[in-house]
Amino acid sequence: MLFDTHAHLNAEQFDEDRDEVIARARENGVSTIVNVGFNRETIPTTLELAEKYDFIYAVVGWHPQDAINMKEQDLEWLEELTKHPKVVGLGEMGLDYYWDTSPRDVQAEVFRKQIRLARKLQMPIVIHDRDAHQDIIDILREEKAGEVGGIMHCFSGSYELAKMALDMNFYISFGGPLTFKNAKKPKEVAAQIPMDRILIETDCPYLTPHPFRGKRNESAYVKYVAEEMAQIHGLSFEELAKITADNARRLFNIREIIL
């Protein structure tokens, strides 16, 4: 019943064995995957994956690192792509002050435009937040993002930040870093998130969980995040898997998990 809510299986790191990686995910109990395309190059290959595999869905949007390259016609393209039956959300969008590859004012404007599109289409959004916590929250509030809600992807902030997002109808998603032995703060935050608002993810090929840290991540490894989260909340693995899968299905309006 595992649901990996954020993957990049179309990344070049999987070019040699993509089908085997996807098969391995299924063998390890992953019933559904949302793959994210975030610029002109990755959106088409994300859609190809969603069309090839019935259990893979797509989220499409514009990453803040690529904000400087987004044109007005790209926003129109995104709107057209949301008509695709396998597209279930917009993103990943947000702010990235770590890499700073796009000017911050450009990042903010592209972020705002995508939120407005999501509100127009009534689709959930997936948020990328790196070293930009308060600005993210401010923009979400100003643009009334709570009307559509979405996911705080690979959450790394405080509980106070999480609470502000929860109050705006967002789910909090945790990935591989939750399993790190020194991840005291993420574990403390995860313990306080209501069970009906928790999601799990891999962000593969990045952020590989323990015990594979430092190697390529893949969707099969979402089970290690689930195991850690189950332990934090005092649940069985099966209970945690079902709860987080149900949460993801509800958010993305996916009516049934394909087994």
Contacts of 64 (CB under 8 A, 6+ apart): 93, 94, 95, 96, 102, 107, 110, 111, 128
133 is in an annotated binding site: no
**Crossing angle of the two packed helices 237-252 and 222-233, in degrees rounded to 10:** 110
Distance CA 187, CA 182 (A): 10
- DSSP bridge partners of 200: 174
84 is in an annotated binding site: no
8 is in an annotated binding site: yes
- For residue 62, the SS3 value is coil
Instruction: Report residue 4: phi and psi, to 5°.
Output: -85, 105
Confirm if 115 and 141 have CB atoms less than 8 A apart.
no
Quick one: 237 exposed, middle or buried, by C-beta within 10 A (0-12, 13-18, 19+)? middle
What's the start-to-end Cα distance of the chain, in Å? 8
Query: Annotated binding site, which residues?
Result: 6, 8, 92, 128, 153, 203
Query: Annotated binding site for a divalent metal cation, which residues?
Result: 6, 8, 92, 128, 153, 203
